[in-house]
Structure 1
């Protein structure tokens, strides 16, 4: 699971982190019942303080997206059946393209060529 946050985006970091996790749940990259990384691991992955990761988890819990189980971690609580793994793969592809400096038109050209 790759979660990214915009370091220069608007709002507090914990809200941006929660938004990244929320998007991954909604588009199917993280499925119902799936265990999320421990807050310490998530914090290390995205380069934030562990308290920031915990605050993002609490926000998602309050929104009903995840369940927090003391000592056992966090799991996805919402079943979003109309989203598919394809949506998650597309999201990952776009993020990978951005990380590698591939612009939108070049990515679309690559997809068109692969479709043939």
Structure 2
């Protein structure tokens, strides 16, 4: 898995780490069931602190993209490839809505109206 961080990106590093892994999953570089390199290996490859990598990986676990298993490491969760794409689309929607002056609560109401 070849991950890179964009030096021009002004987001916090842990968010960039999560985005890089999310992108690798979405693009099929990492498939459900695949094990990720250790946090230490990822931190060395990305030239960031291991705690920064762990924070990004925990974010992805909370999103359902990754699974942590004691003794087995971190792997891509089943169905993560589809979920990752959907989460990216949701983030784009939130960004677009903010540009137009709408908040998350407004979006939730709009979604409720379409159901």
- Normalization by structure 2: what TM-score? 0.66
Instruction: State the shift of 1:32 in Å.
Output: 0.7
Post-superposition CA distance 1:12-33 (Å, at most 9, x none): 0010111010011011010010
| 1:5-44 alignment, distance < 5 Å | 5-44=5-44
1:74 aligns to what SS in structure 2?
Answer: strand
Aligned to 2:49: 49
Aligned to 1:69: 69
Instruction: State the shift of 1:59 in Å.
Output: 0.4
Long gaps (5+) in structure 1: 83-116
Matched residue pairs, number? 82
CA RMSD of aligned residues (A): 1.6
Cα distance in 1 for partners of 2:53, 2:81 equals 26
Instruction: State the shift of 1:81 in Å.
Output: 6.8
- Normalization by structure 1: what TM-score? 0.66
Post-superposition CA distance 1:2-61 (Å, at most 9, x none): 001112302100101110100110110100100000100000011000001100110000
| Runs of 4+ with >3 A deviation | none
Conserved? CA contact 2:67–2:76, under 8 Å: yes
